[in-house]
A and B are shown apart, each in its own frame.
Chain A
């Protein structure tokens, strides 16, 4: 336990679309995550956070670069086994809960066990125990539409945990929740982390970096800052955002760049008035052409967001 890298990304890129519609969602991201880390991922909308999560969770595959999961190259893992890894080793928590509307709460939670081939009685028992753990046992026979957002997310967490996965991937788990529900969900994630599991969580809320041991800041498909933080404290960079959020200027608003990015070291200086005309000062070794096109795209995206 501790310092073994279970997730290793080496210059991973992801390109969506073709020609004019080409978008560079991940731009040569190199990242390694150790067992037992609680990684917070922050960044403006459309910066590639979700793509990174999907990549790590083997829902998506890189266009370029290599991804090793437990030191095994993912591109060589057959789809069947990838599905089994998602089932047994990775728990997904989505912003929109993604519960199956036609199944009851209990059946939703038991679904990963069903895919594992567990007998109905045992899997219902196990799902019920898991619901107990997230405080949702009394809602076992409800349908997802009968739940509040917080309750639905608790059920989704129960479903993610029911197979005892070592890695939890949470894509803005509190994005649709009020503050008290958020707190409940975060306490659950913190507990999972305390038990030695790895948690990777995307969030927009700097306050939530209190729960993380490490925070990544992303911008335009790149990880622009990576810092270790202390549990219980808001990450230093994220903290700046909280206190600096009032100094945002109109340009920032126009460009859609959140105050967070202003606070991230290294991104403030290069924030141009019109990013499309000015090439980024970063050094690039290859794939210059698609990159330029996607910069323009990125700008459009920022405006729209």
Chain B
């Protein structure tokens, strides 16, 4: 049987070579089906990796507490949660104290938005101001590139830490010499005590990009602007305590502090990954639909070509039957032809997809990634569809009466 298959394979190649244009057109159909599917899959995979990378940078041992109830996990829940958040009150000092008192809490840092913006001699740009506690650096594990983060002792002094981009903006593109220089906020002068290392994904700033912000202490913020509000608390447990152990205790304390209302939610890496995955699954379903349609069209193309092929080679079928080919052998011959045709198309399609991926990487911000599993799966699917759609033409060839086939010229 294997020798028969090998013979079929060779015959199929010969047949494809003999009908170059027609076979080429069919293969083109498969290529056109595969390339967009693999490219979209690749873009999806790239986006996924970027997001996962960001979520990873968050760290698996830290949690964020934000005002507002946990977003609904069905339908458009995530999106609703986004604007519902505004309706809930910020955290108070009492809330902070309650959370700090919870057993197992290691570092804790509030994140506060201080209204207004910073001015310097060198720029008119608006630079947002974020206020936090000295524990911030410990809770986030961010690195200070130049200088130091402010400490508890600096509380009364006007010392600030600036983001890398903000430092460049404030001091004429020179972040290195920013330490010791001065800027003004709400009529008071602040001295730059440190510059943060550039952050790949500044997750802990929430809606504010910490690279482009100025960080001051909460004491200064509340002193200068009494409407500054804590919209996020970063909590890192003490070593040896896991988030799952800490979370219920923390929630209990905070709910108590907020008058029995659970009007806040806790964000962890696992939860974020979960919602990212849900979005990506949705994307994959969409791609699956597109793939199914384009492969179906390619399959119909193969069927048409094979039908023409069968009609054109009726005499050959007759000869083969006359010298003893069974129905199954004739059907097998045409199906192996379709398999070879779609396999060649699949290989070309995959190669082309990789080329497209490279072009996208070079010329756009997308970072598509085509995994070999995806390539293999799509190529395999193309071959499967090719073979499936050749069943009908192959059966047509096989069931032809030998004498009728032989008379066909």
Contact = CB atoms under 8 A, between A and B. Distances in A.
Interface of A: 54, 57, 59-60, 79-80, 83-84, 86-88, 92, 94, 98-100, 102-103, 111-112, 114-120, 159-160, 163
A103 B323 CA distance: 15
B325 A83 contact: yes
B1 interface: yes
Contact of A80 (B6, B15, B323, B326): B326
Nearest first, the 4 closest Cβ-Cβ pairs linking A and B are A87-B324, A83-B326, A60-B403, A59-B402
A86 B3 contact: no
Contacts of B406: 54, 59, 98
A94 B322 CA distance: 10
B209 interface: no
Contacts of A80: 326-328
Interface string B299-336: 00000000000000001100111111111110000000
B337 to A, nearest CB: 12
B208 interface: no
B323 A112 contact: yes
B186 to A, nearest CB: 88
Contacts of B323: 86-87, 92, 111-112, 115, 159-160
B14 interface: yes
B1 A98 contact: no
A118 B327 contact: no
Contacts of B15: 102
B319 A117 contact: no
Contacts of A60: 401-403
Among B322, B325, B327, the most chain A Cβ lie within 10 Å of the Cβ of: B322
Contacts of A84: 324, 326
B176 interface: no
- Chain B interface size range: 20 to 34
A160 B323 CA distance: 8
Contacts of B325: 83, 87, 115
B3 A117 contact: yes
B324 A120 contact: no
A140 to B, nearest CB: 16
B239 to A, nearest CB: 69
A115 B15 CA distance: 18
Nearest to A111: B323
Nearest to B328: A80
Contacts of B319: 98-100
A113 B36 CA distance: 45
Contact of A92 (B14, B315, B322, B327): B322
Contacts of B7: 114, 120
B3 A120 contact: yes
A163 to B, nearest CB: 8
Contacts of A94: 322
A115 B329 contact: yes
5 contacts: A80-B326, A84-B326, A92-B323, A103-B11, A116-B324
Nearest to B409: A96
Interface string B368-409: 000000000000000000000000000000000111001000
B15 to A, nearest CB: 7
B322 A59 contact: yes
A67 B248 CA distance: 90
B1 A115 contact: no
Nearest to B402: A59
A197 B3 CA distance: 30
Contacts of A159: 323
A59 B3 contact: no
Contacts of A160: 323
Interface in B1-58: 1, 3-4, 6-7, 11, 14-15, 18
